[in-house]
Amino acid sequence: MPVFDFNDVKDARNHAECTYTTFNSRESMPTPEKPILLLDNQKCQWKHHSCGVFTNPVKRSSFEFEEDGGKVSADILKIDSRFVSLLRWLGENHINVCLSGKNSEAGYAVYKIREIAFGGGTKLSAEDGFLQFMIERLLASDPPVEIDEDEDREETGDDMRLTSIQSITDFMTCAGNTMPENIRLWARRNLAVARSHEVSPEERRHAQRALSLMMNVQWKSEYFEAIDPVEARRILDEELYGMERVKQRIIETIIQINRTHTLPAYGLLLVGPAGTGKSQIAYAVARILKLPWTTLDMSSINDPEQLTGSSRIYSNAKPGIIMEAFSVSGQSNLVFIINELDKAAAGKGNGNPADVLLTLLDNLGFTDNYMECMVPTVGVYPIATANDKSQISAPILSRFAVIEIPDYTKEEKKVIFSRFALKKVLKRMALREEECVITDEALDTIVDIFEGTSGIRDLEQAAEHIAANALYQIEVNHVKSVTFNSQMVCELLK
């Protein structure tokens, strides 16, 4: 699709004229037969090595050759879609280049571009290094995805980020009372600090960064739209096999949200052996609630400051993980998935990181030391996972609705392996089900081999191993299909 650039257009009568079309290519080594671009050569047969500049697209999409008689322009006819932005950059910066190409009936096929300097001039891109670096990167890239231009499509501000003092000021003026009262007052104070010349540059920088983080979050109300319980059940059945008690508890939560339009007072704590799908349940709930989610891995957090942020008195101060999660998601309503809550051991003499979560779990607001403001948490739904409930402190435990997840039975593991794990692996490896067959005796053997292990991760690895072996036999031994019996899986997995 033609690309236009109207930057720096001062005269409305100067219209950009695009003479070329783009084509998709995956070639990593351009040749005259498979070039980077084609130039019009009807008026002149260009030299094998020709020098000049690409014109700014505001004028015309062409290349100006430096010939003995002066400059001669040739329209660009075709461009490899990967190189459109690079050629525009070369033209806008008037970078002198040398083209290597070959004349044909279709045009002058350019397969190499090098930067040069005319008349002892200064090169703009590190002695041709940057240009060659970019060309190599583009040749190793896939063609860009074609985007349909829709004149009726409405523009959105999703990619807009408030970073400058002016944009933050304008936003605060326009938002007015739609922001929470405490955040509005906090923003006024920090805006005064960011503008003041009576404080240090470090303080102004911290104030501006904190404002940018806070203003880029959409602080939503605690009102939640109704959720379709039928669709919720479909998602749960799609993600999880069995676990009827767990699914029932989640559906009850959905019905409660539909009646009250608010989140439940308690989050969910999923307790069970490793590999039983606790994290998968949490992701399914976030999908049902249609909320962004963030993960806190408590086993890797050994200092409460990682969660609460550091004070601005330090030059390297920064917000905590929780505030950064709000900033990344762009909104205050989200699912916090707290993994391995039972492994949140006491830090290096600075207290237990898990205790920091108390105010977050109470939905009373969370205070970040860097932001120096209480962040509303009424739209936060916490879902925690743990292997051992006894390792969690009583105050933390009392703030969750605990759901015990037992290990799978032998029959459940057989169904999970055959209907879920193996099918998923076969699809990923582009194998048909009839190409990799497991007999009933082999299925019993697989489950017996991993009888002493909890969860289904070992079964998933076994499915991967069996499918890979089937693929090997099909490709190397040229068999049409592989049927695994009990003896074969024993030899393969033991």
CATH number of 410-493: 1.10.8.60
Provide the residue type at 273 as one letter.
P
Show the CA angle centred on residue 471, arms to residues 470 and 474, nearest 5°. Answer: 85
229-404 belongs to which CATH class? Answer: alpha beta
Residue holding tokens 């000021």?
Answer: 169
A 10 A CB-CB count for 287 gives 16
Q: With both helix axes pointing from N to C terminus, report the angle between 244-260 and 278-289 in degrees, rounded to the nearest 10.
A: 30
Which residues does 179 contact at the CB level (< 8 Å), separation at least 6? Answer: 172, 187, 219
Show the CA angle centred on residue 362, arms to residues 358 and 363, nearest 5°. Answer: 120
pLDDT given at position 156: 46
Provide the residue type at 335 as one letter.
V
Which residues does 157 contact at the CB level (< 8 Å), separation at least 6? Answer: none
Q: Residue-wise pLDDT tens for the chain (494 aa)?
A: 333 333 444 444 445 567 788 999 888 899 999 999 999 998 888 999 999 988 865 556 888 888 877 788 899 999 999 998 888 888 888 888 899 999 999 999 999 999 887 544 445 555 567 888 888 889 988 888 765 545 444 444 445 577 888 888 888 888 777 788 889 899 999 999 999 989 999 999 999 999 999 988 888 877 888 899 999 999 988 887 778 888 888 899 899 999 999 888 888 999 988 877 888 888 899 899 988 888 888 888 878 888 889 999 888 899 998 898 888 888 888 899 998 888 876 444 566 777 788 888 887 788 899 998 888 888 899 999 998 888 888 888 888 989 888 878 888 888 888 888 899 899 999 999 999 999 999 999 998 888 878 778 888 899 999 999 999 999 999 999 999 999 998 988 87
Q: In whole angstroms, what is the distance from residue 80 CA to residue 21 CA?
A: 9
Q: In whole angstroms, what is the distance from residue 348 CA to residue 410 CA?
A: 43
Which residues does 18 contact at the CB level (< 8 Å), separation at least 6? Answer: 2, 3, 4, 57, 61
User: Where in 291-379 does DSSP place strands (E)?
Assistant: 293-297, 334-339, 366-368, 373-375
Q: In whole angstroms, what is the distance from residue 49 CA to residue 346 CA?
A: 69
Please report which residue ranges of 13-125 form alpha helices under DSSP H: 84-92
Instruction: Please name the helix (run of DSSP H) or strand (run of DSSP E) that holds residue 23, with its range, or none.
Output: strand 21-23
pLDDT given at position 121: 47
Q: What's the distance, Cα to Cα, between the start and end of the chain in Å? A: 56
30: left (phi over 0), alpha (psi -120 to 50) or beta: beta
pLDDT given at position 246: 85
Q: For the whole model, what pTM was predicted?
A: 0.66
What SS3 state is found at 385?
Answer: strand
Q: In whole angstroms, what is the distance from residue 460 CA to residue 418 CA?
A: 10
Paired residues of 386 in beta bridges: 271
Tell me the pairing of strands 70-80 and 37-39.
Answer: antiparallel
Q: Which two tokens stand for residue 302?
A: 């050994």
Domain extents in the chain: 21-139, 165-215, 229-404, 410-493
Instruction: Please name the helix (run of DSSP H) or strand (run of DSSP E) that holds residue 115, with its range, or none.
Output: strand 108-115
